[in-house]
Amino acid sequence: MSKLRFDVVQDAFKKKAVEIDTPATRPEDYFGCLTFNREKMYKYLDAKTYQALIDVIDNGMTLDLKTADKVAEGMKTWAMENGVTHVTHWFQPLTEGTAEKHDSFMEYDGKGGMVEEFTGKSLIQQEPDASSFPNGGIRATFEARGYTAWDPTSPVFIQDDTLCIPTVFISYTGDALDYKTPLKKALKAVNDAALPICRLFDPKVKKVYSYLGWEQEYFLVDEDLYAARPDLMLCGRTLMGHSSSKNQQLDDHYFGAIPSRVAAFMRDIEIAGYKLGIPLKTRHNEVAPNQFELAPIYGETNLSNDQNQMIMNVMNTIARKHGFVVLFHEKPFDGINGSGKHNNWSLGTDTGTLLLAPGKDAKGNLQFVTFFVNVLAAVQKYNGLLKASIATATNAHRLGANEAPPAIVSAFLGKTMTDVLKKLMDVPSDTPIEIAGKKGRSVGLVEIPEIFVDNTDRNRTSPFAFTGNRFEFRAVGSSANCAGAMTTLNAAVAEQLIEFKAAVDAEMASGKPCNVAIMDCLKPIIKSIINVVCFDGNGYSDEWKVEAAKRGLDVETNVPKMIKCFTEEKAVNMFTKLGIYSKVELEARNEVKWETYSKKVQIEARVMGRMATNHIIPAALEYQSKLLKNIKLMQTAFPEDYKDMVATQMDIVKEISRRVNDITVKVDAMIEARKAANKIEDEYEKALAYHEIAESLFAIRRPIDKLEEIVDNNTWPLPKYREILFIN
């Protein structure tokens, strides 16, 4: 092993767990202490201001500037008590990350001194430079004005010495430049569409909520090993590396004992999350070595999405304190599981009814089936668009491999619900709907009580699986902003519900009772979806790919082509009709996605070429030189019969030459392809060209990984999988 690599690996193995900063109190005592939640509002605002702000949050009322000043003053008082000196509008541009510009509270007092001040105007709106954020041509570089505006429905929070205000981000022309703006519009659309249907069952319903529970998968690697891998540092994944003899094949990491260093990291994450009001619930080892997961209790979609962005930032910071780096890339290591961000999605009402859970009686079951079937209809109609909502250069490596769902959006129902839907097609429309609940099942041991089994199983290969009271959109990538997928899903469901309500109204106008009208409208939808989008089998099989194409599902695997779904006529009509995106915004976002795709592949191609040239080939030639010197010495020592004695060395020398030549030819071809792609001005055509370059990287990797097996371990310059993937 090279001296540098030996030192790096040894340092990584010597790491010890950092002392856990455990508060003296229980989590419930400090939960939300760094958020300006309702408890803080009640304490720091007068009664009139408090009620006005609650009306804004709960009822969508407008906040006047005078009231905003009082809210800002209360926030400032609370923030300063917690050591805050700065404030920022915290937003989510089209970079998949978050952005912030910090301003201090300091202002001139008019007397030659300074005073700390925070006004309602500063709370409600700021003006960051919008020129350098991705915008897809909506704004020219010399037209830099952009605005952030406070989203009162997501609590203000403290990060270090800064008061962070969640905001939307729009251009001077009013076009959305972020993820939050369209998400909030989609949530309004699904509420407006679902509410009239809910009132057919319960007139007291006043609001419908979209719920999101994300499951965040991630990898941890030692920061020393990370720093020794240029591909990890610059691309977030390994572009080369032979698989370890042992990886995940024994399934011994999944739900195994959490390594002490990782447990300390997880505990610090939970403490930080609780302080920020993030209800983290679950932590465990995932399937691949060094892969882990955390998940919260589900919550309202907009807030839950903000919390996911917050916790990802926190994870990056805390990981460094423990000697780790977090990898959110969907496929950082070849041959083992990648990381997703499973989005558990549901709808519920302000009366406490979960619309995607079976009811307690026939009426409740009819309401459940109504929403259940319409969600499936929306997924069927927009399966290609939903896939486009999660399509990225990084997620493309994950889909369809090692437990990740395939690049075909279908829905898993389970036997119970499949049987229910098939039965409903053939019974009279006024037949009460019965749905089996959980069943007791004996383990066969007297001392073990019956286990209550759900009415659905799990299908790890399904991108959109029903899991009893929600759907799990499993195809979302680990690094993604959930808002992209959630905007598309809620929008598609909203359009479907609007069309369904119009059909029911027409049936009821002809004199049919409400329940009969609903069932008469559901039956043709069930017939349409049951053998198309509904699929409970193995999504990995080649047979399914053929079958899915026959069913009319989108089977495209080329990411730039997937993205084009957003500007197809039916998608544009749907988004514009619901007021979520304008056509200009959709076209701009496609430009951003194609440009981002090209840049990410371009970076990988550059890193691959330089690592091959500067790391791999020199190491291979150095080892080859050692062999040739050995052969020369053998010839001197045994001039008569040295040829037989050095036959193995000669074979290795020749093998190295073949592999080095193969790498050189392929790298040169890739570089020429990259130069040609860079000359293409149209972003879509450029992305298509870079898709081919991305495919060529696999061909370059193969001979490199073969050389890793051949070259002396002391000479190989990069930390290997067996060294990176196992935390002590």
pLDDT of residue 351: 96
d(CA 51, CA 66): 14
Is this structure's pTM higher than 0.85?
A: yes
Predicted confidence at residue 443, as pLDDT, reads: 47
Residue 112 CB partners (closer than 8 Å, separation 6+): none
- Residue 403 pLDDT: 64
**Residue 457 reports pLDDT greater than 60:** no
DSSP 142: T
Beta bridge partners of residue 282, listed in sequence order: 295
| Residues paired with 534 in a beta bridge | 411
Alpha helices in 579-616 (DSSP H): 583-611
> Which percentage of the chain shows pLDDT scores above 90?
76
Q: Looking at residue 644, what is its pLDDT?
A: 86
CB of 455 closer than 8 Å to CB of 437: yes
Q: How far apart are CA 510 and CA 503, in angstroms?
A: 11
Tally of CB atoms within 10 A around 692: 13
Are the CB atoms for 372 and 379 separated by under 8 Å? Answer: no
Distances (CA, A) of 123 to 103, 158, 340, 651: 12, 14, 35, 71
Q: What was the pLDDT predicted at 686?
A: 98
483-542 pLDDT, tens digit each? 999 999 999 999 999 999 999 999 999 999 999 999 999 999 999 999 999 998 888 888
Q: What is the pLDDT of residues 123-156, one digit of tens each?
A: 999 887 666 787 777 765 555 678 999 999 999 9
Considering only residues 9 and 406, tell me which one the structure prediction assigns the higher pLDDT.
406
Q: Is the pLDDT of residue 170 over 80?
A: yes
Residue scoring higher pLDDT (457 or 333):
333
> Could you tell me which of 589, 586, 552 has the C-alpha nearest to residue 569?
586
Yes or no: say if 621 and 716 are a contact pair by the CB < 8 Å rule: no
Task: Write the CB contacts of 671 (distance below 8 Å, at least 6 apart in sequence).
Answer: 605, 609
Q: Which two tokens stand for residue 355?
A: 């619309």
Average pLDDT, the chain: 91
Angle between helices 514-529 and 482-509 (to 10 degrees): 130
Euclidean distance between CA atoms 465 and 457, whole angstroms: 10
pLDDT for residue 438: 56
Cβ neighbours, 10 Å, residue 148: 27
What separation in angstroms does the CA of 79 have from each of 148, 232, 272, 313?
A: 21, 38, 17, 20
Instruction: Check residue 450 and give left, alpha or beta (phi > 0: left; psi -120 to 50: alpha).
Output: beta
**Are the C-beta atoms of 143 and 66 separated by less than 8 Å?**
no
> Tokens for 10?
């040894």
Q: CA 525 to CA 548: how far, in whole Å?
A: 19
| Euclidean distance between CA atoms 60 and 292, whole angstroms | 39
How many CB atoms within 10 Å of residue 682? Answer: 11
